């Protein structure tokens, strides 16, 4: 087929070819391929529950280079010339599958892997998988398998994927009572969190003590620390890609956990055996039920709870198509009697269609809905009002995965999102003292096309390169304001809907490379640009559910982040130990923050309260992991610096960002005492965050006030903590599984500072004193988990 006829076929193909043309290699290979190649493709699944397996190794024993991994839907495709081969499929924790085959035509081969009985078999990692961390071009990536993290001790016994990620180098927790995290000097809003491809705007429950993800419903999670491939986009610092379980397609199964403050239940099973399955998982805290026991009315009338629900179903239509429907719904409620209440929640829905076009081309189409809203309700006598905020996205994603040969894995596609954002608006009841703020949602349209190729150049060199082209358009249908230097509105313009008011266009090139100078050692480098068009504003040191999101506008520009990273990866002791050292340098443009003394309740005039600036961050991350044996775990260390430069702050000079921490250490160990007992421990240490404290005091109008000098010139005290966990597997059979988990948070009772405040001394009103507030010392907990 000549190139010309193809070009004329249709617009879609033209777009596709444009993307293809970015890879010279591909075209040349196509033209010069001399022998006919055949493809083996299919899906890899768990034999017991039918869950697809992500990242399983598929290779041909006879060819050293012919190997691949299953994609996020368990699909693989490898190719070879005509001949006899042994196909080997393996994945950690499963018995390897081997079969001989005669390849003289392209084949479809679905494979089931049987889980190993861990108590009998030593975990053996295949050669290919063993050095995957070294070989792949990707760097700055952390993969978490829910099974691996289940024994790490956590607060109140609630397994939490985000809290566990914070134990990895380069990822910093925002502190106690805070589910926010900072990656390589980025802000908490610069992390994209995807749950089955749907963006989750607020990942915290109960003011941050828990993350929104019920670990029972999750298959795995991957965190990219800024150098993610071009199929991801939208945030500056990182992408956390979380995949939900699909549900058991073989038989019905119920599992759950009963804890001190929350319980959860999971129910899954086949819709039709081996054709489709579903899963429903729910979780609720019951701290508020204890409040009800109080005889004090001011306590018993209070509300404090969250619940969440994950549901997913999939169905296979014929050999080539599979439909997935997944949803998440979560809500938090905190209230003081009738007077004050705050509630917030995320809901997401994803409808996906997997289509195997042929044995080398895989397509996924996703239609995604995502909503986050919060509502503060105040009933104060004649003053009934609410503060409401919401962000709603409709999102269409089309991705093609193309496996032209064993050396290239290509992804290309597009993404189009319609955003509606209302930032913290006061809505008052009739007759209230307050009038409502105008309803002025902002509409915008975000588009991206991308192309990325994971190219195994030779046995030593791997390249992953790609380009993402992002456009962000402001849409009419609301009022925009112009502001003077002081942030006062000087002009307002109302645009009719359907108009495109302004479009920002940004290319985002990404390149990662690894060079393996030995089978178990490599050096890697990456350079990447990320663009962000929705921005969250935070006035408090902690991230709050009430922190508002705003879109890029006439005044707020797209944030741009450029990151350069280099790394050394080395495995020791036959792959039992993995070591990595990564260094990064990052620059961020068009950063947004509240100005000094800003009014965060400015409603649709919030842009008058903002300042703009830039950021830079650099650091070194070391990680040593022990993957096998009775003792497993890791030691992580980060040395870093994060700075900001904003107009009018600290005389326009660079200053430390609030998330700046010089040292960050985490040590995690899991020790198998006996087959049924395992002990775990996690110790963390970090330098206190940069904060603004007073340097003096004065008196106005008879009241004592603090005098400030520079922003973030002080530090919180150093933080450290040891958590211990003990897991006892009571029973484990084919039919029934149950375990007890005991944990002790902050085992040596370190009084870590939650806040530092300043006041008139209680003992001597003529003096002032510094007061430290500590939240948790020694929190024990027990959880019972079951499955049948």
Partner 1 sequence: MATNTFTACEKVIDYDLQESEKKIVIDANIVKDKNINTVSITKSAYFNESNTFEVINNALVIVSDNENNIDTLTYVGDGKYQTSKIIGKEGNTYKLYVKVNNQVFESNCTMPKQVNFDSLFIQDFGGFAGYVPVPARLDPKGFSNYYRFKVSKNDKPFSNIFVQDDELIDGNKVTQPLIGVDYDFKNGDICEVEMLCIAKDVCKYWFELSQNAGGGPGGGTAAPSNPTSNISGGCLGYFSAHTSEIKSIIFIK
335-374 binders of partner 1 (CB under 8 A): 336-340
Q: What is the DSSP string of 526-595?
A: EEEEEEE-EEE---SSS--TTPPEEE--SSSPPEEEEEEEEEEEEEEGGGTEEEEEEEEEEEEEEEEEEP
Least distance from C-beta 710 to partner 1, angstroms?
Answer: 9
Strand (E) or helix (H) holding 155: none
Least distance from C-beta 541 to partner 1, angstroms?
Answer: 4
Residue 41: count other Cβ atoms within 10 Å of its Cβ.
23
Closest-CA residue to 563 (of 237, 167, 322): 237
458 binds partner 1 per the rule CB under 8 A: no
Least distance from C-beta 776 to partner 1, angstroms?
Answer: 7
Query: Between residue 291 and residue 310, which ones bind partner 1 under the rule CB under 8 A?
Result: 297-299, 301-302, 304
597 binds partner 1 per the rule CB under 8 A: yes
Query: Between residue 421 and residue 440, which ones bind partner 1 under the rule CB under 8 A?
Result: 426, 428, 432-435, 437
C-alpha to C-alpha distance for 309 and 330, rounded to whole angstroms? 6
178 binds partner 1 per the rule CB under 8 A: yes
573 binds partner 1 per the rule CB under 8 A: no
323 binds partner 1 per the rule CB under 8 A: no
Kindly tell me which of 398 and 436 has the beta carbon lying closer to partner 1. 436
Kindly tell me which of 519 and 755 has the beta carbon lying closer to partner 1. 755
Q: What is the DSSP string of 652-702?
A: G--EE-TT--SEEEEEEEEEEEETTEEEEEEEEEEPPPEE---SEEEEETT
C-alpha to C-alpha distance for 608 and 482, rounded to whole angstroms? 8
Q: Which residue among 4, 34, 295, 702 contacts partner 1 (CB under 8 A)? A: 702
490 binds partner 1 per the rule CB under 8 A: no
Q: What number of CA atoms fall less than 13 Å from residue 324's CA on the CB side? A: 27
Kindly tell me which of 149 and 162 has the beta carbon lying closer to partner 1. 162
Least distance from C-beta 424 to partner 1, angstroms?
Answer: 13
* 496 in Cβ contact with 477 (< 8 Å): yes
List, in order, residues 6 or more apart from 279 with CB less than 8 Å away: 217, 244, 245, 246, 247, 248, 266, 267, 268, 310, 311, 312, 313
Pairing of strands 107-108, 37-46: parallel
Choose the stretch contacting partner 1; rule: CB under 8 A; options: 35-43, 109-117, 325-333, 700-708: 700-708
695 binds partner 1 per the rule CB under 8 A: yes
622 binds partner 1 per the rule CB under 8 A: no
How buried is 265 (Cβ within 10 angstroms: 0-12 exposed, 13-18 middle, 19+ buried)? middle
Q: Which residue among 175, 259, 466, 636 contacts partner 1 (CB under 8 A)? A: 175
Least distance from C-beta 764 to partner 1, angstroms?
Answer: 8
Q: Which residues pair with 267 in a beta bridge?
A: 254, 280
704 binds partner 1 per the rule CB under 8 A: yes
C-alpha to C-alpha distance for 754 and 750, rounded to whole angstroms? 12
Residue 601: count other Cβ atoms within 10 Å of its Cβ.
15
Q: Which two tokens stand for residue 657?
A: 């960002």
Query: Between residue 540 and residue 559, which ones bind partner 1 under the rule CB under 8 A?
Result: 540-542, 544
Query: Between residue 502 and residue 541, which ones bind partner 1 under the rule CB under 8 A?
Result: 538-541
718 binds partner 1 per the rule CB under 8 A: no
C-alpha to C-alpha distance for 216 and 257, rounded to whole angstroms? 9
751 binds partner 1 per the rule CB under 8 A: yes
Q: At what angle do helices 11-21 and 24-32 cross, to 10 degrees?
A: 100
152 binds partner 1 per the rule CB under 8 A: no
Q: Assign residue 144 a region: left if phi > 0, alpha if psi is -120 to 50, beta otherwise?
A: beta
Choose the stretch contacting partner 1; rule: CB under 8 A; options: 33-41, 378-386, 470-478, 740-748: 378-386
Q: Which residue among 700, 733, 734, 735 contacts partner 1 (CB under 8 A)? A: 700
C-alpha to C-alpha distance for 175 and 182, rounded to whole angstroms? 10
Q: Which two tokens stand for residue 167?
A: 């134990």
Q: Which residue among 755, 784, 786, 787 contacts partner 1 (CB under 8 A)? A: 755
Q: How many residues bind partner 1 (CB under 8 A)?
A: 87
Choose the stretch contacting partner 1; rule: CB under 8 A; options: 146-154, 621-629, 630-638, 760-768: 760-768
Query: Between residue 100 and residue 119, which ones bind partner 1 under the rule CB under 8 A?
Result: none
31 binds partner 1 per the rule CB under 8 A: no
Q: Which two tokens stand for residue 131?
A: 């050095």
772 binds partner 1 per the rule CB under 8 A: yes
Strand (E) or helix (H) holding 325: strand 321-336
Least distance from C-beta 493 to partner 1, angstroms?
Answer: 20
Kindly tell me which of 25 and 428 has the beta carbon lying closer to partner 1. 428
Least distance from C-beta 641 to partner 1, angstroms?
Answer: 18
Q: Which residue among 120, 696, 733, 735 contacts partner 1 (CB under 8 A)? A: 696
746 binds partner 1 per the rule CB under 8 A: no
Q: Which residue among 517, 736, 760, 788 contacts partner 1 (CB under 8 A)? A: 760
C-alpha to C-alpha distance for 607 and 594, rounded to whole angstroms? 9
Kindly tell me which of 212 and 370 has the beta carbon lying closer to partner 1. 212
List, in order, residues 6 or more apart from 45 with CB less than 8 Å away: 51, 52, 53, 74, 110, 111, 112, 113
318 binds partner 1 per the rule CB under 8 A: no
C-alpha to C-alpha distance for 395 and 622, rounded to whole angstroms? 37
C-alpha to C-alpha distance for 41 and 39, rounded to whole angstroms? 6
Q: Which residue among 706, 748, 778, 788 contacts partner 1 (CB under 8 A)? A: 706
Q: Which two tokens stand for residue 504?
A: 């920002």
Tell me the C-alpha to C-alpha distance, in Å, between residue 28 and each of 53, 214, 453: 33, 47, 15
Kindly tell me which of 425 and 529 has the beta carbon lying closer to partner 1. 425
C-alpha to C-alpha distance for 345 and 201, rounded to whole angstroms? 9
485 binds partner 1 per the rule CB under 8 A: no
* 723 in Cβ contact with 773 (< 8 Å): no
705 binds partner 1 per the rule CB under 8 A: yes
381 binds partner 1 per the rule CB under 8 A: yes
Least distance from C-beta 742 to partner 1, angstroms?
Answer: 21
498 binds partner 1 per the rule CB under 8 A: no
166 binds partner 1 per the rule CB under 8 A: no
Kindly tell me which of 392 and 541 has the beta carbon lying closer to partner 1. 541
Return the sign of the alpha-carbon dihedral for residues 584, 588, 594, 600: negative
777 binds partner 1 per the rule CB under 8 A: yes
Kindly tell me which of 425 and 625 has the beta carbon lying closer to partner 1. 425
List, in order, residues 6 or more apart from 146 with CB less than 8 Å away: 159, 161, 215, 218, 219, 220, 221
Radius of gyration in angstroms for the set of CA atoms belonging to the chain, rounded to a whole number: 27
Q: Which residue among 38, 754, 784, 786 contacts partner 1 (CB under 8 A)? A: 754
Tell me the C-alpha to C-alpha distance, in Å, between residue 49 and each of 53, 292, 312: 11, 41, 15
Least distance from C-beta 483 to partner 1, angstroms?
Answer: 15
Choose the stretch contacting partner 1; rule: CB under 8 A; options: 54-62, 512-520, 554-562, 757-765: 757-765
Kindly tell me which of 329 and 336 has the beta carbon lying closer to partner 1. 336
207 binds partner 1 per the rule CB under 8 A: yes
Q: How many residues can be counted in the chain?
A: 788
698 binds partner 1 per the rule CB under 8 A: yes
Query: Between residue 644 and residue 683, which ones bind partner 1 under the rule CB under 8 A?
Result: 649, 658
C-alpha to C-alpha distance for 149 and 632, rounded to whole angstroms? 11
Kindly tell me which of 294 and 459 has the beta carbon lying closer to partner 1. 294
Least distance from C-beta 536 to partner 1, angstroms?
Answer: 13
Q: Which residue among 48, 265, 774, 782 contacts partner 1 (CB under 8 A)? A: 774
């Amino acid at each position: 087929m000549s190139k010309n006829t193809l070009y004329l076929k249709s617009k879609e193909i033209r777009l596709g070819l444009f993307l293809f043309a970015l890879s010279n290699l591909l075209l040349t290979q196509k033209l010069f391929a001399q022998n006919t190649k055949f493809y083996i493709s299919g899906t890899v699944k768990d034999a017991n529950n039918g869950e697809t397996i992500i990242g399983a190794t598929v290779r041909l024993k006879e060819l050293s280079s012919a190997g691949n991994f299953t994609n996020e839907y368990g699909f693989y495709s490898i190719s070879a010339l005509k001949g006899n081969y042994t196909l080997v499929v393996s994945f950690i924790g499963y018995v390897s599958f081997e079969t001989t085959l005669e390849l003289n035509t392209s084949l479809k081969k679905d494979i089931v892997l049987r889980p190993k009985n861990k108590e009998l078999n030593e975990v053996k990692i295949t050669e290919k998988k063993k050095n995957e961390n070294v070989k792949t071009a990707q760097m700055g990536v952390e993969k978490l398998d829910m099974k691996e993290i289940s024994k790490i001790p956590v607060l109140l016994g609630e397994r939490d994927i985000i809290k566990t990620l914070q134990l990895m180098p380069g990822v910093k927790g925002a502190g106690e009572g805070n589910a926010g995290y900072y990656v390589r000097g980025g802000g908490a809003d610069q992390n994209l969190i995807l749950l089955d491809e749907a963006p989750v705007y607020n990942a915290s429950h109960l003011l941050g003590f828990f993350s929104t993800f019920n670990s029972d419903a999750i298959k795995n999670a991957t965190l990219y620390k800024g150098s993610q491939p071009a199929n991801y986009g939208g945030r500056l610092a990182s992408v956390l890609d979380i995949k939900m379980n699909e549900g058991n397609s073989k038989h019905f199964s119920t599992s759950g956990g009963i804890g001190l403050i929350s319980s959860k239940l999971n129910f899954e099973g086949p819709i039709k055996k081996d054709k489709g399955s579903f899963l429903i998982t729910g979780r609720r805290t019951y701290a508020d039920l204890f409040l009800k026991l109080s005889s004090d009315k001011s306590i018993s009338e209070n509300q404090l709870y969250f619940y969440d629900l994950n549901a997913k179903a999939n169905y296979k239509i014929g050999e080539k198509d599979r439909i997935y429907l997944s949803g998440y719904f979560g809500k938090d409620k905190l209230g003081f009697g009738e007077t004050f209440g705050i509630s917030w929640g995320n809901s997401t829905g994803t409808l996906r269609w997997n289509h195997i076009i042929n044995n080398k081309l895989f397509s996924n189409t996703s239609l995604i809905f995502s909503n986050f809203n919060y509502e503060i309700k105040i009933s104060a006598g004649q003053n009934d009002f609410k503060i409401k905020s919401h962000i709603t996205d409709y999102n269409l994603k089309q991705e093609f995965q193309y496996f032209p040969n064993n050396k290239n894995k290509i992804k290309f596609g597009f993404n189009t999102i319609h955003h509606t954002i209302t930032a913290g608006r006061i809505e008052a009841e009739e007759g209230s003292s307050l009038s409502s703020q105008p309803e002025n949602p902002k509409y915008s349209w975000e588009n991206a096309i991308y192309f990325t190729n994971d190219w195994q150049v030779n046995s030593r060199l791997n390249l992953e390169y790609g380009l993402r082209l992002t456009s962000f358009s402001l849409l009419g249908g609301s009022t925009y304001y112009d502001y003077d230097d002081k942030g006062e509105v000087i002009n307002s313009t109302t645009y009719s809907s359907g108009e495109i008011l302004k479009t920002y266009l940004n290319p985002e090139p990404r390149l990662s490379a690894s060079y393996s100078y030995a089978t178990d050692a490599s050096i890697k480098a990456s350079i990447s640009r990320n663009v962000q068009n929705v921005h969250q504003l935070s006035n408090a040191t902690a991230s709050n559910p009430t922190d508002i999101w705003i879109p890029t506008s006439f005044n707020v520009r797209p944030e741009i982040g450029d990151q350069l990273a280099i790394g050394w990866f080395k495995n020791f002791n036959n792959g039992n130990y993995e070591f990595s050292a990564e260094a990064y340098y990052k620059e961020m443009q068009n950063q947004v923050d509240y100005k000094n003394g800003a009014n965060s309740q400015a409603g649709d005039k919030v842009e008058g309260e903002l300042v703009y600036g830039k950021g830079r961050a650099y650091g070194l991350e070391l990680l040593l992991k022990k993957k096998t044996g009775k003792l497993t775990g890791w030691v992580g260390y980060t040395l870093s610096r994060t700075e900001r430069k904003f107009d009018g702050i600290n005389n326009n000079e660079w200053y430390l960002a609030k998330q700046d921490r010089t040292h960050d250490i985490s040590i995690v160990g899991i020790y198998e005492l006996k087959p049924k007992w395992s002990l775990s421990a996690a110790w963390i240490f970090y330098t206190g965050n940069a904060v603004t404290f007073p340097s003096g005091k004065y008196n106005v109008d008879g009241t004592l006030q603090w005098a400030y000098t520079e922003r973030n010139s002080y530090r919180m005290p150093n933080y450290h903590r040891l958590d211990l966990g003990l897991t006892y597997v009571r029973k484990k059979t084919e039919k029934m599984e149950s375990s007890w988990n005991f944990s002790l948070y902050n085992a040596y009772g370190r009084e870590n500072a939650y806040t530092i405040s300043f006041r008139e001394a209680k003992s001597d009103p003529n003096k002032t004193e510094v007061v430290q507030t500590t939240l948790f010392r020694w929190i024990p907990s027990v959880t019972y988990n079951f499955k049948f």
